[in-house]
Structure 1
Amino acid sequence: MRILSTLALLLASAFAPPGAARAEPPVLAEIVLVRHGHYDADPKADAQLGPGLSPIGVAQARLAGARLRGEAPFDTLLVSPMQRARDTAASIGQEMPDARFAVVEDLRECTPPTRRTEVTAEETPEALAACRAQLDRVFARYFKPAGGGDRRRLLVCHGNVIRYLVTRALGVDTAAWLEMSVGHASITRIRIEPDGRYKVIAVGDVGHLAPTLRTGASGDAARSLAIPALPEG
């Protein structure tokens, strides 16, 4: 019966009179979050911006960009003001020449409250609360149904930011964000249905990176693109 009903609908659509109104499919919004690539600590870096990407971080970001290039274009492209995120967005932009990113201060890395109190031992309650408020503003502003043609949004930001936003989309305790781990230049996808429901499609996807280029997630080895010494017998 289901097959006959589907066939009837297809025939009715095919033979509808010219100009007849047809129901438009619901418009989904998609949020794509990319964590910045690998970076090395640099005591000389600007205290507000932090260090930029390492060579392996640039390679990771270019591969993320190549993967995203084959998808539908983005309506909105946003990036954290921190240098490692800006470098990642610039490297992604090399694969998508028409990309133009807007810098959003609220995408800056911070530490929200977590169950793991040893992680927040050096954070003040005020700083933790300010971070949570910051990320809640991001969620309220950008994690909403499609409107005005704004269907796909790309956010290049940070691991803490991404994990917190995932907990918001899942509707779970946001203090659980540290129970996830997302690697450098990983891709996280969240769809928003027209009625406002969220569907988390992928978290920390690194399928575009070769195993030897994966860093930043729990268990990943430290890697480098420096030329090693030649083994000689």
Structure 2
Amino acid sequence: MLPRLLLMLSCLLLTAPLCAAESSAPATRTIVLVRHGYYLPDPAADSRLGPHLAPIGVAQAQLVGARLAGLPTRFDTMLVSPVQRARDTAAIIAGDFPGRHFEVVDDLAECMPPTRRVEAMAKEKPADLAACKQQLDRLFARYFTPAAGHPQTELMVCHGNVIRNMVVRALGVDSKAWLEMSVGNASITRILVEADGRFKVISVGDVGHLPPNLRTGATGDAERSLEIPALP
């Protein structure tokens, strides 16, 4: 902190170029991606926005919000998908961040990008696959870059397909390999963008804040509910 203050004083007392260098120098960017909580299909829901969170999804969102609030960092930007289940999750997380708000980013919406799984591709329209790829291209190009001036940390509340696709892009592997991963509801994925543009995937699908009976959405997780069962 002291060297930074000294450089700021130099900017004020000496020359403007030092200020410009300070404000534009590449710096690290940490992106924290949170998958939305559990939800159930609802035929009555808006076809574009989808259904709200189920009760277990609300509980998951509360727990991930507490986990995020306990991190030793401050989020410079908080972003969310326009889809309802992500917005619900973000609204609950926001309760742990008084005075902060989420910005809705359309390119964080769930979609189906191309995958090498033939059986999955057979169900999709080529135009939809191409549109999703373009969407995720824009997202990666816009946000997965070094910060300017000082380290930045972004929070993104979005979807499993989006998160997995960002991970394979950061790893520099086949972008169609994303379906070989599985991330649970309300999981946390961290990707670091170095000042020189290199990537470090720190964690993928972390659900350490969720007890086993509240884990859903990943391969091997059972279907669960917080509804009260009938009395035997």
TM-score, length-scaled by structure 1: 0.86
Show CA shifts across 1:55-105 (max 9, x none): 100110111110000121100111000000000000111111232101011
Whether 1:68 and 2:68 are equivalent positions in the alignment is yes
Following TM superposition, where does structure 1 have runs of at least 4 consecutive aligned residues deviating by more than 6 angstroms? none
Map of 2:13 onto structure 1: none
- Pairs within 5 Å for 1:110-121: 110-121=111-122
- The runs of 5 or more residues in structure 2 that have no matched partner are 1-8, 11-21
Question: Structure 1 stretches of 5 or more lacking a match?
Answer: 1-18
**Contact 1:145-1:192 within 8 A present in 2 as well:** yes
Distance in 2 between residues matched to 1:65 and 1:198, nearest whole Å: 26
2:27–2:151 Cα contact (<8 Å) kept: no
1:206 maps to 2:204:
no
CA distance in structure 1 between the partners assigned to 2:46 and 2:75 by the alignment: 31
Distance in 2, Cα, partners of 1:42 & 1:150: 41
Post-superposition shift, 1:154?
Answer: 0.6
CA contact (8 A) 2:31 2:192 kept: yes
Give % identity: 67
Partner of 1:5: none
Question: Is 1:189 the equivalent of 2:190?
Answer: yes
1:175-229 deviation line (CA, Å, top 9, x unaligned): 0000000000000000111101000000000000000000000010000001123
The alpha-carbon deviation at position 149 of structure 1 amounts to 4.4
Give, in whole Å, the separation in 2 of the partners of 1:228 and 1:94.
30
Match of 1:12 in 2: none
* Separation (CA, whole Å) in 2 of partners of 1:220 and 1:152: 30
Structure number with larger C-alpha Rg: 1
Instruction: Tell me by how many angstroms 1:150 deviates.
Output: 6.0
Provide the residue aligned with 1:108 in structure 2. Answer: 109
1:50 maps to 50
3-state SS of 1:190 partner? strand
What's the counterpart of residue 84 of structure 1? 85
Are 1:145 and 2:146 an aligned pair? yes
Tell me if 1:159 matches 2:176: no
CA distance in structure 1 between the aligned counterparts of 2:219 and 2:162, rounded to whole angstroms: 17
Give the corresponding residue for 1:34: 34
Alpha-carbon offset, residue 148 of structure 1: 4.4
SS in 2 for 1:95: coil
Asked whether the equivalents of residues 76 and 150 of structure 1 are also in contact (C-alpha less than 8 Å), the reply is: no
Structure 1 residues 26-73: Cα deviation after superposition (integer angstroms, max 9, x where no partner): 842100000000000000000000001011001101111100001211
Instruction: Measure, in 1, the Cα distance between the counterparts of 2:194 and 2:150.
Output: 14
The number of residues matched between the two structures is 210
Amino acid at match of 1:179: E
Residues 1:222 and 2:215 are matched in the alignment: no
The one-letter code matched in structure 2 to 1:42 is D
Q: For 1:92 and 1:116, how far apart are their aligned partners in 2?
A: 34
Q: Which has the higher helix share?
A: 2
Query: In angstroms, what is the RMSD of aligned CA positions?
Result: 1.8
Greater alpha carbon shift after TM alignment, 91-100 vs 197-206 = 91-100
Distance 1:123 1:181 in 2: 20
Q: How far apart, in 2, do the equivalents of 1:136 and 1:150 lie?
A: 23
